[in-house]
Structure 1
Amino acid sequence: MNTTLSYPEIIAWLEKKGVELYGKKFKILETDHEIIYKLIAYFLKDEQACYQFNIDLEKGILLTGPIGCGKTSLMNLMKFLTATEHKFFVKPCRDISFEFIQDGYQIIHKYSNGKLYQSEPRSYCFDDLGTENNLKYFGNECNVMAEILLSRYDLFISKKLFTHITTNLSATEIEKHYGNRVRSRLRELCNLIAFDNVAKDKRK
């Protein structure tokens, strides 16, 4: 691990930021430190630590874990550690599905290739993958997130575009929801960082 970085100090700083964002009850539990060390190493591009954690800095992050374990809040906090050139936007998958109902197939383009007048596609963290449903637009059913992820995989190969994801789905459930092609591409697209299945629901 990079000795110039004090991971306990960074965690303390992130906890303060968490209190600012989420209120006085926000706390980083010691049981989550291993997960958070991995995220810090990745977003601060600590090559030595990433090598130890078997994290590939050329891929995105797939953060999995039970409902309420803190995936979304952690990814929002990681934005404060991310260098400008690697900035990403957190976008709930349910919001994307509502946009699709309203605006149709251009939404798939928006979250893959970018808006028509936007020169470069953006890095996103698609939050809570699996909470959206297959949707119909003018009678045609579409698995919106599957299409977006397949498009972003192509951009990852051609332009090294980063995609981050949070989900409480297992690998088997991802395959069931989105198909084998998406599951296969996610292995190439993202590093898997997983909370324990019995991780505490912090919303309780």
Structure 2
Amino acid sequence: MTHFDYHYLLQQVQEKGSDLYRRDFVIDDIDRPVVMKLLAYFLRDGEVAAKENVDLHKGLLLTGPVGCGKTSIMRILSNFSLPDHRPMLKSSVEISLEFTDMGNDVIMRYSRKAFNPYRRMPYVHCFDDLGLEPLVNYWGNKINLMSQILFTRYNLMHSHGMITHVITRLNAAELETIYGDHVRSRMREMFNLIAFQPDSRDKRK
């Protein structure tokens, strides 16, 4: 038995979407299973999460077609999270641009220095548009910046319980092509895969 009223919570999600985005914001029936899983995750509802095969000790890999509302839903659902579990959302493309200005400090900012300085709690980061970021130049060499950040956060997950979320339009094979099989294998340990249906409506139209 769960202590939460998910019918009421879905109404709250729609109201929050209307406040943040547009007045006619609605959760389509086809998207409800995704929203239910995300709600159970952010509410730390162990009963429903277990039923939905969602591991509360892992992060989220949210995937789906272009325009299905991945980023919007993640922003809305994070409002239902406890402060310690609320993710800070950042575009992978923006992180690559930061690296151009700040260099190696950017990797540290999103990995080994991603801790609350007063409580030593690891920050939860959500990296949007994973796989769309360009390679960056580092001392004359092209490097895959997000691969390094994810690899370091994987190690910190095991040593400090650091949780990472990612949002991407790419599938597992495409991610492996970009980041290699060593990162993909670690992704299986880091993330719950939650996918919008391929025919989920384009919310931008």
Q: TM-score range, shorter-chain basis?
A: over 0.9
Aligned equivalent of 1:37: 36
Q: Separation in 2 of the partners of 1:57 and 1:126? A: 18
Aligned equivalent of 1:155: 156
1:172 maps onto 2:170 in alignment: no
AA aligned to 1:129 is L
The 5 Å alignment of 1:113-152 reads 113-114=112-113, 118=117, 119-152=120-153
5+ unaligned residues in a row in structure 2: which ranges? none
After superposition, the C-alpha distances for 1:95-151 in whole angstroms (9 at most, x for unaligned) are 101101111111011111126994554110111101211111342211000000000
After superposition, the C-alpha distances for 1:129-176 in whole angstroms (9 at most, x for unaligned) are 012111113422110000000000000010111101110111000100
Aligned equivalent of 2:93: 94
5+ unaligned residues in a row in structure 1: which ranges? none
AA aligned to 2:103 is G
Q: Separation in 2 of the partners of 1:33 and 1:87? A: 21
Could you tell me the percent identity over the aligned residues?
A: 42
Assess if the C-alpha contact under 8 Å between 2:115 and 2:122 holds in 1: no
Q: TM-score, normalised by structure 1?
A: 0.94
Alignment RMSD (CA, Å): 1.6
Assess if the C-alpha contact under 8 Å between 1:114 and 1:122 holds in 2: no
> Residue 25 and residue 116 in structure 1: after superposition, are their counterparts in 2 closer, same or farther (change >3 A)?
closer
Assess if the C-alpha contact under 8 Å between 2:115 and 2:123 holds in 1: no
> Residue 69 and residue 116 in structure 1: after superposition, are their counterparts in 2 closer, same or farther (change >3 A)?
closer
Number of positions where the alignment pairs a residue of Structure 1 with one of Structure 2: 203
Q: TM-score, normalised by structure 2?
A: 0.94
Aligned equivalent of 2:50: 51
Assess if the C-alpha contact under 8 Å between 1:43 and 1:81 holds in 2: yes
Assess if the C-alpha contact under 8 Å between 1:113 and 1:121 holds in 2: no
- Range 131-140 or range 112-121, more displaced: 112-121
AA aligned to 1:96 is I
After superposition, the C-alpha distances for 1:40-69 in whole angstroms (9 at most, x for unaligned) are 011111111111111111111111101111
> Residue 115 and residue 122 in structure 1: after superposition, are their counterparts in 2 closer, same or farther (change >3 A)?
closer
Tell me by how many angstroms 1:84 deviates: 1.6
